[in-house]
Structure 1
Amino acid sequence: MTLSKRHAAVAVAGLAALIVLAVAGRALSSWPWSPPASDQLTLYGNVDIRQVDMAFQAIGRVQELRVEEGDSVKAGDTLALLDPDTYRDLADLARARVEAQRVALQRLQTGSRPEEIAREKASVEASRAAVIDAELLLKRRTELLKTGNVSRELYDEAKNAYDTARARLDVASQVSRLTEIGPRQEDIDQAKAMLSAQQATLSMAEQRLADTQLKSPSDAIVLSRIVEPGAMVGPNTPVYTLALTDKIWVRTYISEPDLGRIKPGMAVKIATDTDPDRAYDGWIGFISPTAEFTPKTVETTELRTQLVYRLRVFVRNPDARLRQGMPVTVRVPLGN
């Protein structure tokens, strides 16, 4: 074999080897396989921003502001006061009306006193005596009229007096009977209904008075003070903005391929860029049932076009170094 033929054979063999390698590489690249799963997931997110605008439920002039920006407040702390004079007067008026109606109801429920019954009976006896006197006078003038010793006018006068006395006796008897029976049940029920209405009015007045105090709904930090003392405010006028701190959680996202590797309740470690060596303990509290595109605040180059699921990770024993909006890294140990 000549040298040129040997070179040609070597070239053909090399070309064949390259073709075999290329075919093998293509076959391997199309073979389904997965990289080995890591024993830890690393997620990126932010401490969730939870803030609330605080406003009075009443209308009035701001009397006092008790906290400043940056102050820490506890649930139930008084933040600000409105001028309460008008609302206090309305509450006092409603309270007086309740007491008056309560007395009126008690009087109806108690019924007539023995002295009142005795008074009406005495009135009946007096009316009966007047009837007897008028009847005697009428009889005398009737006899005299027959003999012509009295005028018709005097007779008519005695007759009218007798009729009037009888009518007064009937009225006194009816009043005495009603006094003994006492108030009607319908009157008592009406008085009860009026008392309930007055009590409801008092409750609203007292609530409006209480609404002149603006209280913190939860442990928080004052982010901003929006108005000044003396300003007129109402339910639509925020006075403070608070950042709630009673519970701290992290909002982060996980890609769909890793979704099946986590579940609510799993323990996590949370670190900040400020102090990466200081890890906070936490747990996964919520996994969103719906997918969304990765938010711009946490997207990475690999996740820009992927759908992800939102997670809420609760922080156990947080401190003041975890501030709202701070970027954090969440590591989820997966075990074996």
Structure 2
Amino acid sequence: MQKKLRLRFKLLIGGTILVVLAAAVAIAANMLKTPKPRQIDGQVEVLQYSVQVQQRGKVLEIRVKEGDYVEVGDTLALYRTDDTPMPEDATLELLATTLHPYRTGNRNVDRAYGRWQQAKSAEEQAERIYNDVQQKFMNGKAPASLRDNVFTEYKTLQVQALSLKADYEKALHNLKTEKCNSKGPQIIAIVTKVEGEVSEIVVKRGEQLSANNTLMSIALLDNLWGSIAVTRNEKMQFKEGDTIQVYCKPFNMSVPMRVSGFKANFDFLDPNNYKRGNEGAQTWEMQLRPVYKVEGLRPGMQLSIGVRAEEEA
């Protein structure tokens, strides 16, 4: 009797072990068969403001370096202008004298005021449009991409208006101090009209520049986004308004970002993009906006997101 019980007990244990082994083999096979999520990379982009010189001259000194954070009114460089008058524009002169209610009789001042008022009017109109689109977005009647594009346009016009206002105030100050009536070259301070981080300095000390040459670029850190290239199958896994976790390699952490839109990187009218085997040429730039402000996020930082394998998509 005891021998039979021991035999049954051994058979039960053996059967249990076989079941456990079979289950483990099945789970392992399923894990090997299931494709792992794939990572695709992108980077942080930011709106850049270009600082340009208005007259021909020579760079005497650069007061900032790349990576410096500057505020409105900070001195960027010292510049010696040549004795070259600014080009006149009859239409702008007429418009300036029409718009300026307190005409000074000085062309530079009145023209600067007219340009500022034009930019201010465009900024106010862009703000009204943005507020209207924002309200429609909150009510679910406008896509996130439209709201973001209108916001970018509004911020660009806002920066332009601030820049032209600073030009007007500078011209008015020069008039009051009679600097604008002086002859010959002048040494002037080039000051920033926007707030941001100096991203690139393209000139060197002693370099001779022509009118409208770029001195440096300033990154407007309040207007940045993530950019990741995706294929057609990868694009189908996301839609506008989705909030996803984006891995930021420099921070070694995930940042929540919202999909704000897609921009095609190929020509829709080119038939070669639709030939069999050319599907890889059809890529889109997926734009992602941070859900909240992330301190230290800078242009060029690497971003990564996980996507399902194409067999699953």
TM band (smaller chain) = 0.3 to 0.5
Q: TM-score, normalised by structure 1?
A: 0.41
Structure index of larger Rg: 1
Q: Per residue, is there more strand in 1 or in 2?
A: 2
> TM-score by structure 2 length?
0.44
